Amino acid sequence: MTEEQMLAGSTKNNAAAQEALYNRFSPRMLGVCYRFAKSREDAEDMLQEGFIKVFTQLHQYRNEGALEGWIRRIVVHTCINILKKNKKFNESVDIIHANGLHTREDIIPSIMQAKQIVECIRSLPLGYRTVLNLYAIEGFSHREIGQLLEIEESTSRSQYTRAKAMLEEILVKKQIIQKYRSKKYGNPI
């Protein structure tokens, strides 16, 4: 089924088309959710919420830009909304008070690089993780992050700097990157 057929069918609430669309994009979107979520189960809940929004808002998609990018944007916003609803996230305004928090990097296994990097990101405190995910991977600006998480733009910026430093340290410790190797991170060692 082509992307156009999936789109047309899903807009008409055709179950087969919706399933095809879901099967096409859900693995990558679950990977996105997993970076934000506390557990796989939470990630699946986020994915489900996200795809409900995708299917209910699909008629608004205007073929401007890639469909995957559009879906990803919705899924990321859904993740953030769910995290914001979660009391723990609000309490952890560890967005502000995350200094000195210990990560769980000591339990991260030496498994393949992508998953290992994702696990390293997930080992960061919730606030650090969220800002880093949004800025470094999803391409949000600090202003957008500030609006999204209802924090100051400067807070987002400083938290990202700390998150980045912490993640770098973990990645070096896990021998995924070499320390300050001419600021080149491209090749894993």
Partner 1 sequence: MEKEFYNDNFEEFLRESTEDFKMYPSRRVWHSLYNDLHPDRKWPSLAVSLLLITAILYLGVINNNAINANTNNLLAAGKEAGEVATKSTSFPGGDVELNSSASTQVRGQKSIPVKVSPSLVGASDSYLVQMQADKLRVQDLLNLNIPATAIPATVQVDRNDNVITGSPDTKNTMRTSSAFVYNNLSSAQANIQSDLNPNVAAAQTISNPGSSTTLNSLPVIENKTIDPTSGNNTNANQLTGGITSAKTVTNSLSENQIFKSTQNLDLPWVEDHAFYNRKNKGVWKAKSSLQYYITPSIGYRTIETAPSPVVTNSVVASAPATSNEVDQHAAINLEAGAALRYKIGKKLIIKGGLQINYTSYTINGYELKHPSQTTLALNNTNSSGSSLQPYNTSYANSPALSNSKLNNKTLQFSIPLGIDYQLAGNHRLKWYAGATIQPTLVTSGNAYLLSSDSKFYVNENAFINRWNINTSLETFITYKLNDGMLLQAGPQVRYQMFSTYSKQFTASEKLYNAGLKFGLIRNL
- Give contact residues for partner 1 (rule: CB under 8 A): 13, 15, 18-19, 22, 26-28, 30-31, 34-35, 39-41, 43-45, 47-48, 51-52, 55, 85-87, 107, 109-115, 117-118, 121, 132, 135-137, 139, 141-142, 157, 160-161, 164, 168, 177, 183-186
Between 34 and 128, CB nearer to partner 1:
34
Sign of CA dihedral 167, 170, 175, 178: positive
Cβ 38 to partner 1 shortest distance, Å: 10
Q: How many C-beta atoms surround the C-beta of residue 57 within 10 A?
A: 11
CB 126, CB 92: distance < 8 Å: yes
Cβ 67 to partner 1 shortest distance, Å: 16
Distance CA 141, CA 157 (A): 9
Cβ 129 to partner 1 shortest distance, Å: 12
User: Residue 118's closest CA among 26, 27, 33?
Assistant: 33
Between 5 and 44, CB nearer to partner 1:
44
CB 71, CB 29: distance < 8 Å: yes
